[in-house]
Amino acid sequence: MNFDLSDDQQDIKRTAREFLGARYKLEEVRRLALEEEHGFTDAQWDEIVGLGWPELAVAESGLGIVELAVVSEELGYACAPTPLASTWAASLLLDAAGEAGRLEGGKRGTVAQWDEDTDGKPDRPSLGADLRGVKIAVPDAASADLIVVTAEGGKHFVVDAADVEIEPAETLDTTRRLATVRLDGPDAEELSGDFGRAWHAIAVMTAAESVGLGQRAMEMAVAYAKDRTQFERPIGTYQAVSHACAQMLLEVEGARSVVYWAAWALDHEPETAPLAVACAKAYAGDAGRRVPRAALQVHGGVGFTWEHDLHFFLKRAQANAHAYGDARWHRDELAAALFD
């Protein structure tokens, strides 16, 4: 049995690596994160639209969640500041309702999931169907054309971003802008459909991005361990450092395996998908946080400085760990799937 990506998927991965590596060098990531109002430029978004990547989340593209995970991993590897992930999230929910066309033509979307008083439970929004309340930590809301809003009873509504009040929020991860969205009964259309698979796909694409972040942080640590010397020896020859690097590799490869299992299950074995997705988001979320932390330790004092780029990966991974359900929430979901 072949567990590797297919030739076409390898081509997608190679194209994504080359494109993102050329457009989002680390000095550009830093500039976008610290200087651009929305964290990206319209020209960069237009290039991504030209590649057809926003359509990866739409069933009519002919591609699946595995291909979505492939590109998501490369977005993490580049730590690319782009609204693509938030647009994918909105597209997946709209596609489940048969409304994917709302984001055609390069339009951008996002999902407002967390209520101000959600108490850490992403599956239990308190916002009523009248859509009067506050949503927090909404990614890329200030640059979105439309917002998919979750409400009580598992309801989903689509609203025009121009019809709500959007207030930029201070964030840990400066490579992805978050905002507070205040709703005062805007014009909205309720979406109908089965959104379970869409939410699972959103969790998997977030987990895949964490794999890419961990891979890049690990590579940075290994390169530094080879170059940095103490007592005329590379620090990578010392067990304390080499064991840390080996543990990073174990966690990254383990996370990659479970993420692609979950993506494959969503495409080919839906009965297994809830269990696989819970495993993937929990494991990759934790690994995504731990690997950059360990990489920072390998770098020593220089790793803690603002000037070193490693902190962008650490912060993005920390934010991803909490997005769309943290590890504890997904382990509860896993327990329910196994024992209920």
Are 94 and 121 in the same domain? no
> Does 64 reside within a domain?
yes
Are 120 and 79 in the same domain? no
> Does 104 reside within a domain?
no
Strands, E, within the chain: which ranges? 109-112, 114-115, 132-139, 146-151, 155-160, 165-169, 178-184, 188-191, 229-230, 233-234
What is the chain's pLDDT, residue by residue, as a tens digit (340 residues)?
467 899 999 999 999 999 999 999 999 999 999 999 999 999 999 999 999 999 999 988 889 999 999 999 999 999 999 999 999 999 999 999 999 889 999 999 999 999 987 555 555 667 887 999 999 999 999 999 999 999 999 999 999 999 999 999 999 999 999 999 999 999 999 999 999 999 999 999 999 999 999 999 999 999 999 999 888 899 999 999 999 999 999 999 999 999 999 999 999 999 999 999 999 999 999 999 999 999 999 999 898 899 999 999 999 999 999 999 999 999 999 998 888 6
* Cα–Cα distance measured from residue 94 to residue 88, given in angstroms and rounded to the nearest whole number: 10
Domain count, the chain: 3
Q: Give the sign of the dihedral formed by CA 210, CA 144, CA 191, CA 127.
A: positive
What is the model's pTM? 0.95
Q: Please check whether residue 54 is in contact with residue 337, taking contact to mean a CB–CB distance below 8 angstroms.
A: no
Q: Which domain holds residue 176?
A: 109-191
> Does 1 reside within a domain?
no
CATH code for the domain in which residue 162 is found: 2.40.110.10
Are 88 and 159 in the same domain? no
